[in-house]
Amino acid sequence: MRLFQEPSILISNMKGYVHSFESFGTVDGPGVRFVVFLQGCPMRCLYCHNPDSWNHGGTAYEPDEVLEKMTRNIAFYQTGGITVSGGEPMLQLDFLIELFRLAKARKIHTCIDTSGVVFDEDKPELMSKIDTLLSLCDLVMLDIKHIDEDEHLKLTGHTNKNILAFAKYLNKKDVPMRVRHVIVPNITFKEEYLRGLGAFLKGFTNIEKIEVLPFHKMGEVKYENLGIECPLKDTEALSEKDAKWALKIINSRR
């Protein structure tokens, strides 16, 4: 079993530790987005294309500094907004809350792209912060890695129980959600798992969209640069045709 950082160890700091920015994001929420990729992630997904974002580090920014970077070109984002991704953005809840407070004061659409891995209803202080964040969040893009518990452990080194619980919580709170699911040959590209995911999502009333993301090979060079062996280097990329079939199967159970 691969080791992973305990997700309860959150970064309690108003500064955000940033991996990178994307100034013209078109696949990270509605419209054109300013995308902030935060540093640090507790999971080690076999198909991860940003292994350089796993460990803590990055460049420290105050929330207003990040928003200022966006608002320099605010005209570009009139149909979109700001998306915070990672790594795992919810490891940096204090920073994320303050950034979204500033954004909402400017009437900017806010979105997080998260696995929900830090969610834990048994931790009142954490849940208070999550509730505050959700009150400032217009959209959650939730990455569900694998619907099967055992296969999720193999894929990420972590349980999926809190992730699925977070999905249910978002539905209960009526927070708009887009579900993202990476389709990987021989891992998630199996009809039983696709039908299982569809069955889990049946009855959810907050889902705006389900997105299937075909596995690709573009992240392999990052593993080489880090001196890490790419776990799925022998796995073929998934075709668009197979991705469309996978989405059809998921939706057939909803």
Q: Distance between CA 249 and CA 254 in Å, rounded?
A: 9
The per-residue pLDDT for 13 is: 56
pLDDT in tens, the chain (254 residues): 232 333 333 444 589 999 999 999 999 999 999 999 999 999 999 988 888 888 878 899 999 999 999 999 999 999 999 999 988 999 999 999 999 999 999 999 999 999 999 999 999 999 999 999 999 999 999 999 999 999 999 999 999 999 999 999 999 999 999 999 999 999 999 999 999 999 999 999 999 999 999 988 777 788 788 888 888 888 999 999 999 999 999 999 77
Cβ proximity of 42 and 85 under 8 Å: no
pTM > 0.85: yes or no:
yes
Residue 20 has φ and ψ, to the nearest 5°, of -170, 170
The per-residue pLDDT for 52 is: 84
> How many residues are present in the chain?
254
The per-residue pLDDT for 224 is: 82
Helix (H, G, I), strand (E, B) or coil at 108: coil
The per-residue pLDDT for 227 is: 86
For residue 31, whether the previous peptide bond is cis, meaning omega lies within 30 degrees of 0, is no
Return the closest-CA partner of residue 167 out of 149, 147, 193. 147
Q: Distance between CA 92 and CA 16 in Å, rounded?
A: 7
The per-residue pLDDT for 40 is: 93
Distances (CA, A) of 56 to 52, 80, 84, 85, 89: 10, 29, 16, 15, 12
Under DSSP, the state recorded for 182 is E
For residue 116, whether the previous peptide bond is cis, meaning omega lies within 30 degrees of 0, is no
